[in-house]
A and B are shown apart, each in its own frame.
Chain A
């Protein structure tokens, strides 16, 4: 009996020791798996096509190809991501990889939060060479690239055929001259020719560039002589004249009480707007009976030139797993991943993938065409200030009618922010 107990006790000890050893082995196995964290603002709704693609197809494939790396993705709301970035920079709690709005990159590069990708990645040049130059330029700050383009977009003219037809107009405005000619006809029917939700760079740069003007010189060091050049003044004057003639609603000068662009376009209050590819699903769900039509940005003396939008992918300076992070960035720029995300509405940044874009989604065609001439906003850590000054200057011009004076003063203020 006593002997029996001893055997039992021994057996127990052996069993416990064996389990512990097995657990130890498992711990050892997991130690070689690196976990990287990826922050993005694709969407916060888990059922959205972007998140479905990312979490069900793209990341699993990456983890299969790279068994030693695990990717933890964290979705944020677009506006809260920037706040989160700022507080995380201060708190030293940034993730490894971030999908950043193209306009934020220089701002955080200046803070030293993002790593210099051109120095860190040996194959940076070959990856960068496959992307649109306009998108790539948004990663540049003081001699270095702090990221790679991840997805792109641009604004094109979206119009309501019925609104135009009610004023006897059969084709959408394609030039500045068309806009001036169509304005009184639509006004007589109580329809605004064009609406936009602000006067910042995203809103007015297509008009300035299409008018042959510019915000700064080509090296982004001076605004005086560019923002107040005769061509820029003439382009902004077009907006001022249309506003004064009642062809542009007060929404554009910052009136939050006016009807929004998508509601206005779909209900024929506004005949045209400028907007991006994400509007197609929005209109489809909010106004299923509205047939959205697109055209290139109306051309002026400078042609039809729109503004580049989109996101870059960056690695943080504080990342402890830079090799794994680089591997993930490389993967996200592969033709396969770019094509996958294109199915979820993310326009690829690789020129070789873009060629098959219209097969994925027919409405991409117009954006691809517009992207060929589209330009980035000024890559500057002071862009938010520059954007505010530009926006206030154009809104002031539209309200006061004194375009030259408003742009003179804005150019002088922006000069100080470009150095």
Chain B
């Protein structure tokens, strides 16, 4: 028993140092009008910063925008990632090449692809408008800009979910599939009744990770629209960043990040319950 704790200790110490301590510290900062100068006094505000967020229209808009990004990118990455995984699980020529190609966006830099997408979606001279023959002001409006950012998120994320689904699909027992064939099941029925239930825990894992990732969208928004025009495309993290690092209002910034943490935590718990198999214990 003691040995178990001893082995867990190094990991836990690291976790406490780089996760728990900053979280506790951020909560402390969020309760003050925080002065970043060491040794200078900060004013105690209690929960004022949290109340301020509730009355801040840009906070609510950034929450809706973050939710929109999460709601669009999560299902899209699951469906497309799973689709790609199923296709690349089959015996097709150049399978390894396709797997690598689908994974390529995942390993490219967020900064590079964000700037690239900004050029692709430029109103005049952008490749997207040129190819479609349209004159859409993609980055000039709230929803079209969020759509652009979501497309980037999906494109960049498919490879990640694909790789995980692929690994899970390869673990589905061949005997079960063969038995299903003997029973006369078609490809769709086999996928729905055999493969999907077998990879259910993996789907749960991918969903939870994508929801968390969706709520943490930052780099693409920061570089493509900067939250503009008129704060219409602000997401929680860009708004938090601006409060803390542009306005040096670290108390308010910390409270925004704490609200985000709470939302993500509650959503993750809810999903864990949702994905629990009937009859599974309450863990």
The chain A residues found within 8 Å of chain B, CB to CB, are: 83, 86, 89-92, 107, 111-113, 250, 253-259, 269, 382, 384-385, 392, 395-396, 399
Q: Which residues of A contact B140 (CB under 8 A)?
A: 250, 253-255, 257-258
Q: Which residues of B contact A90 (CB under 8 A)?
A: 36-38
- A89–B118 touching, CB < 8 Å: no
Interface status of B178 (Cβ within 8 A of chain A): no
- B226–A256 touching, CB < 8 Å: yes
Q: How far is the CA of A384 from the CA of B253 in the complex (A)?
A: 15
Given contacts A89-B36, A395-B229, contact A255 B248 (CB under 8 A): no
Write the nearest CB–CB distance from A115 to chain B, whole angstroms: 13
- A259–B124 touching, CB < 8 Å: yes
Interface status of B197 (Cβ within 8 A of chain A): no
Contact mask for chain B residues 241-260; partner A; CB cutoff 8 A; 1 contact, 0 none: 00001111000000000000
- A111–B35 touching, CB < 8 Å: yes
Contact pick for B137, options A250, A269, A395, CB 8 Å = A250
Contact pick for A259, options B125, B137, B224, B226, CB 8 Å = B125
Q: How far is the CA of A259 from the CA of B137 in the complex (A)?
A: 12
What is the chain B residue whose CB lies nearest that of A269? Answer: B124
Q: Name, among B126, B140, B229, the residue most crowded by chain A CB atoms within 10 Å (CB to CB).
A: B229
Q: Name, among B35, B123, B248, the residue most crowded by chain A CB atoms within 10 Å (CB to CB).
A: B248
Q: How far is the CA of A144 from the CA of B239 in the complex (A)?
A: 33
Q: Which residues of A contact B247 (CB under 8 A)?
A: 382, 384-385
- A258–B40 touching, CB < 8 Å: no
- B122–A89 touching, CB < 8 Å: no
Q: Which residues of B contact A384 (CB under 8 A)?
A: 246-248
- A257–B229 touching, CB < 8 Å: no
- A86–B36 touching, CB < 8 Å: yes
Q: Pull 9 A–B residue pairs with CB atoms less than 8 Å apart, ordered by A.
A: A83-B245, A90-B36, A111-B40, A254-B225, A256-B139, A259-B123, A259-B125, A392-B231, A395-B229
Q: Which residues of B contact A396 (CB under 8 A)?
A: 230
The chain B residues found within 8 Å of chain A, CB to CB, are: 35-38, 40, 118, 121-126, 137-140, 145, 224-226, 228-231, 245-248
- A112–B40 touching, CB < 8 Å: yes
Q: Which residues of A contact B225 (CB under 8 A)?
A: 254, 256
Q: How far is the CA of A396 from the CA of B126 in the complex (A)?
A: 26
What is the chain B residue whose CB lies nearest that of A396? Answer: B230
Q: Which residues of A contact B118 (CB under 8 A)?
A: 256-257
- A255–B229 touching, CB < 8 Å: yes
- B139–A255 touching, CB < 8 Å: yes
Write the nearest CB–CB distance from A183 to chain B, whole angstroms: 19
Q: Name, among A83, A112, A256, A258, the residue most crowded by chain B CB atoms within 10 Å (CB to CB).
A: A256
Interface of B is mostly: loop
Write the nearest CB–CB distance from B89 to chain A, whole angstroms: 39
- B35–A254 touching, CB < 8 Å: no
- Listed from nearest, the 4 A-B pairs whose CB atoms lie closest are A254-B229, A257-B139, A255-B140, A254-B228
- B229–A86 touching, CB < 8 Å: no
- B139–A107 touching, CB < 8 Å: no
Given contacts A254-B228, A256-B224, contact A86 B248 (CB under 8 A): yes
Q: Which residues of B contact A382 (CB under 8 A)?
A: 247
Q: How far is the CA of A255 from the CA of B40 in the complex (A)?
A: 41
What is the chain B residue whose CB lies nearest that of A112? Answer: B37
4 other A-B residue contacts (CB within 8 Å) besides A107-B248, A256-B118, A384-B247:
A92-B38, A256-B228, A392-B231, A395-B230
Q: Which residues of A contact B36 (CB under 8 A)?
A: 86, 89-90, 111
Given contacts A83-B245, A111-B248, A384-B247, contact A254 B37 (CB under 8 A): no
Q: Which residues of A contact B123 (CB under 8 A)?
A: 250, 255, 257-259
Given contacts A86-B36, A107-B248, A250-B140, contact A258 B122 (CB under 8 A): yes
Q: How far is the CA of A167 from the CA of B231 in the complex (A)?
A: 36
Write the nearest CB–CB distance from B106 to chain A, whole angstroms: 25
Q: How far is the CA of A119 from the CA of B268 in the complex (A)?
A: 56
- A254–B230 touching, CB < 8 Å: yes
What is the chain B residue whose CB lies nearest that of A257? Answer: B139
Q: Name, among B35, B40, B231, B246, the residue most crowded by chain A CB atoms within 10 Å (CB to CB).
A: B246
Contact pick for A257, options B38, B138, B226, CB 8 Å = B138
Q: Which residues of B contact A250 (CB under 8 A)?
A: 123, 137, 140, 229
Write the nearest CB–CB distance from A260 to chain B, whole angstroms: 10
Write the nearest CB–CB distance from B28 to chain A, whole angstroms: 14
Given contacts A257-B121, A257-B123, contact A89 B37 (CB under 8 A): yes
Q: How far is the CA of A382 from the CA of B243 in the complex (A)?
A: 12
Q: Which residues of A contact B246 (CB under 8 A)?
A: 384
Q: Which residues of A contact B125 (CB under 8 A)?
A: 259
What is the chain A residue whose CB lies nearest that of B144? Answer: A257
Q: Which residues of B contact A107 (CB under 8 A)?
A: 248
What is the chain B residue whose CB lies nearest that of A387? Answer: B246
Given contacts A392-B230, A395-B230, contact A111 B122 (CB under 8 A): no
Q: How far is the CA of A91 from the CA of B145 in the complex (A)?
A: 37
Q: How far is the CA of A112 from the CA of B35 in the complex (A)?
A: 10
Given contacts A83-B245, A256-B118, contact A111 B229 (CB under 8 A): no
Q: How far is the CA of A255 from the CA of B126 in the complex (A)?
A: 13
Q: Name, among B121, B125, B126, the residue most crowded by chain A CB atoms within 10 Å (CB to CB).
A: B125
Q: Which residues of B contact A254 (CB under 8 A)?
A: 140, 225, 228-230
Q: Which residues of B contact A91 (CB under 8 A)?
A: 38
What is the chain A residue whose CB lies nearest that of B36? Answer: A90
Q: How far is the CA of A6 from the CA of B246 in the complex (A)?
A: 73
Q: Which residues of B contact A256 (CB under 8 A)?
A: 118, 139, 145, 224-226, 228
What is the chain A residue whose CB lies nearest that of B229? Answer: A254
Given contacts A107-B248, A111-B248, A395-B229, contact A257 B137 (CB under 8 A): yes
Q: How far is the CA of A112 from the CA of B39 in the complex (A)?
A: 11
Q: How far is the CA of A257 from the CA of B139 in the complex (A)?
A: 5
What is the chain B residue whose CB lies nearest that of A110? Answer: B248
Write the nearest CB–CB distance from B41 to chain A, whole angstroms: 11
Q: Which residues of B contact A257 (CB under 8 A)?
A: 118, 121-123, 126, 137-140
- A253–B229 touching, CB < 8 Å: yes
Q: Which residues of A contact B224 (CB under 8 A)?
A: 256
